[in-house]
Structure 1
């Protein structure tokens, strides 16, 4: 009897380990195989396939993960081939063959290589991800914790920033997830964690933009604020409506969530080496 989700032609690591809490944000996706579910971890560039209690970890690689991340960002909307190549291979020029191969690999991993119902091809237009295959995850509140001692550590930040050390429970981004309950849909799926973690916050207001920084380390938070100053300044100049930005450092990568007043949201993930190469059009897409 078949107990796993993958065929032998797809490389996978089978086991019971799950990603650590600080990288446990995932999207749940139905696959084309019976009783097989997938969890997509953008920060880890991985899919975790689960069937009959057996877990299979599939490493998508940077380009494959970026490709899937771009498709799930706007489920049901057509993404052009050019935009997908620019997003998944932002550091180099590739041909249509590379995109075709990555799309085929993703379909194979998701059990969609025959029916092509999950990742759909629109001739001469591009690709879209079928929203019917995204699985909403329930937002679970953190268990009540005993009152902790007040944190007495002051965080020195530039003038105009408000820093608030805080302890977050099972959902590091619970405020954002609660917004999802008010109509943001799958936004809350990205931010699920499984253990308490102490986070330091800073807030900066620039024109139409309110920027919220957070990190578990005070020194890294300072670096995050400093390294993204030019980026946030550009965003404030481009923003046409009130927008909230949530910035976090994940190793060598930055994650930026753009949340507009109208409830639209976009997630950008980019390597620290690409910080100075992000073009205005990419920022405008995030601000829409």
Structure 2
């Protein structure tokens, strides 16, 4: 079953959870098909099973990574990637963070079959199927059963295979997005860009900013759009904060402190 919703720029999106694909239709450009990483697709699928309902971080991680054990940082990175792909990296109006509880999908952005959907010129109008909301509890129970079956299989598997599985990173980057991680004490920084050169430039800016401190704690994702730099932070309290600024006009260390609430 596919899901239909609109982005903030009014583009119509068709999400196919079975193929992990997003088909983005705009009036100005030809349709764009994007293939998500498996975990990212399953996170979006779970949030769309019950739009508007809050999904806990634990439930999301159990559903998205049903085949391995990952840290909370993997979820933060997946949410960050999804928001960038969906154009939601600034305001978080589509994938909404509920502090200390989890995430929810903005049900106002869903498209119903009765909506008057404009299609790009030259394309036939495809009537989206009815959106059937599935109760979250049965889905989670079914998922837990699947996890139990897999755990039983792992119990009789060769130890070496289990070890290799655990060492596997558990995250696949969608498209050509590149990342680089920087550890500074209790501060974890992830630079995200569309190319290795872009990521290397971000990493160089971070390392040359005097960010080496002992008082900053938390997790930061940094990316750049034109002359604007974007920070998405997970503070030590668990709260999320987003910040956008001009790199030339602001000191990066000050922006890190503001974003992390230090």
Give the TM-score normalised by structure 1: 0.42
Bigger relative contact order, structure 1 or 2, given CA contacts below 8 A and separation 6+?
A: 2
Give the TM-score normalised by structure 2: 0.46
